[in-house]
A and B are shown apart, each in its own frame.
Chain A
Amino acid sequence: MTVSPAVRKTFASVLFPVFGAGVLLMPLASLAAGQKVEKHFAVKGRPVVMIQNVANGRIEVKSWKNPEVVVSASQPSNKIGLDMEQAENRIDVTASVLDASAQESDLSENIQLTVPEETELQIKSQSGLIYVEQVLGDMTLESIAGDIHLKEVSGYIIVRTTGGTLVCTLCGGKLKFDSVSGSAQILQPSLTNVTLYTSFGNILFDGDFIRTGIYSMKSGRGLVEVRFAGTDSFDLNAQTTSGTVDNRAEAFLKPDSHGIRRSAAKYAKGFFGTVGNGLAKVELSSFSGTIRILKRD
């Protein structure tokens, strides 16, 4: 029997998700609390791992060469429930509070993940460190009070915290950071697109600006510090409403080299300048904090 394309399309877009999910979403584990648990999930290609930790605790993600995701978890009490499920390449790990009246010290869940090098991550946690090392893939990492440390990761990286601090070492790809009072340290990056915003934290960018890269770093009250290399090439725009600009690189900053006439916003203090040929674009801003620009030794 031949079926028209429209029917096939309807069939594929409606039937497969509905029934496919039903077949594949087989809960693999609902684990008893108060113990250490470990589960192995075979995957193909690039898996997506999602962790939702309503409890507190550390989440650590490392990579290996095997096409397998290993989840190890430990919890001190039976006040936390841990559910894991796999739907083909998607693995969901959820830690939830079973007893709302439990003591704070009982509400913790430490989770260790070992994933293939190319893995996408979505992690949401309350407090406790999120540590990710040597993972290539897009990731969204959220924490309220926990810090987030990334080492040798690459992809489109989105980090959101309320009070947690980001330390990103040897990161590549694109980075977006948003925090209320958390700080951000970007060390030796190879990032082509950076957007950092914190209302009260500090920002430190210590590394090279990739040519054609776009970098925006803003802090409401904190310090925005940029340490660049003499070989870098970028246009710089620094503005503050009531803060200060500490320019320690005047010798390297030339007037705009592209012939575009620019002027600072009427009500803001700041300056424009160019290092090298001005290939990358760097925007620094602070409402009432300090913007510091210096060249690395």
Chain B
Amino acid sequence: MRCKDVAQAIEQAGFPPLPDEARGHVEGCPACSSLIADFERILAVAKELPAEVEPPTRVWVALRSQLEAENIIREPATLVPVESSRWWQDYDKIIRGRMMATAGVAVLIVAAGYIQMTHKSARSPIPDEATVIPEPRVLAEPFGAAGTKLDQEEQSLGPLQAASMSGVSPVDNSLRENLATLNTFIKECRKRLQEDPNDQVARDYLSAAYQQKAEILAAMMERGRSVN
């Protein structure tokens, strides 16, 4: 066996373990043994890398808001069968692992691209009942699930906010004031959409407001962590 055969064996069979023939060659070949040693070091370092971190909730909220804003996915309506809404309720559980999350996002992006390319002007039903409600339907409140989730996060921040209030910080004040104003603005947009559910301008502003709210909550949490 020659050096290139060793490389081919690693390429095809993986590493380790090394096939017997290749091992025999490596023992007598300084270049190959050096390469193998390097690979072993890489594997050792790779095992020490920290575990993958689950993306924060705000990422999912922002993603969902954006997809809803672009009419790529829709909020389950009140007439929707129980199975459909349960899918979204279980969404968090489904996307626990990073690989599952990545795959989920990839599927959403591919679906979004396909839908936009093939259904640009006409709003025809999309074949995934889990994510899209067939027409005719009763429109539910836009971004309702995202809004509820953000409200829950805001409530959970209560003690954290209080803890960081020991010194009056202009930054914390700015975050709190902007959050309060955003909440008022969100109410205005929601009111408008209750009057005119098809007002796309209001829908866009509501989507943006939810995204900004998610970012403010993330900043508040980050500040809470950095000073506590």
Contacts and interface: CB of A to CB of B under 8 A. Distances in A.
Interface in B164-213: 166-171, 174-175, 177-178, 181-182, 185, 188-189, 192, 196, 198-202, 204-205, 208-209, 212
A263 interface: no
Contacts of B205: 199, 218, 220, 241, 287
Contacts of B169: 104
B42 A15 contact: yes
A266 B199 CA distance: 7
Given A267-B196, A267-B201, A287-B201, A97 B42 contact: no
Contacts of B223: 126
A247 interface: no
A100 interface: yes
A287 B7 contact: no
A119 to B, nearest CB: 26
Contacts of A268: 199-201
Given A3-B3, A7-B10, A100-B227, A200 B181 contact: yes
B122 interface: no
Contact of A197 (B171, B177, B208): B208
B46 interface: yes
Contacts of B170: 56, 104, 127, 145
Interface in B36-55: 38, 41-42, 45-46
B7 A3 contact: yes
A137 to B, nearest CB: 25
Interface residues of A, number: 47
B93 interface: no
Interface of B: 3-4, 7-8, 10-11, 29, 31-32, 35, 38, 41-42, 45-46, 166-171, 174-175, 177-178, 181-182, 185, 188-189, 192, 196, 198-202, 204-205, 208-209, 212, 215-216, 219, 223, 226-228
Given A197-B208, A241-B192, A2 B7 contact: yes
Contact of B182 (A3, A54, A199, A265): A199
A267 B212 contact: no
B42 A241 contact: no
A267 B198 contact: yes
Given A7-B7, A267-B199, 20 more contacts: A1-B4, A6-B7, A6-B11, A14-B46, A15-B42, A56-B170, A101-B166, A126-B171, A144-B171, A145-B170, A163-B174, A163-B177, A180-B212, A199-B182, A200-B185, A218-B205, A220-B185, A267-B201, A285-B201, A287-B192
B150 to A, nearest CB: 14
A197 B215 CA distance: 14
Interface string A73-105: 000000000000000000000001100111110
A242 interface: yes
13 contacts: A7-B11, A103-B167, A126-B171, A126-B223, A162-B216, A163-B174, A180-B181, A239-B201, A265-B199, A267-B198, A268-B201, A285-B201, A287-B188
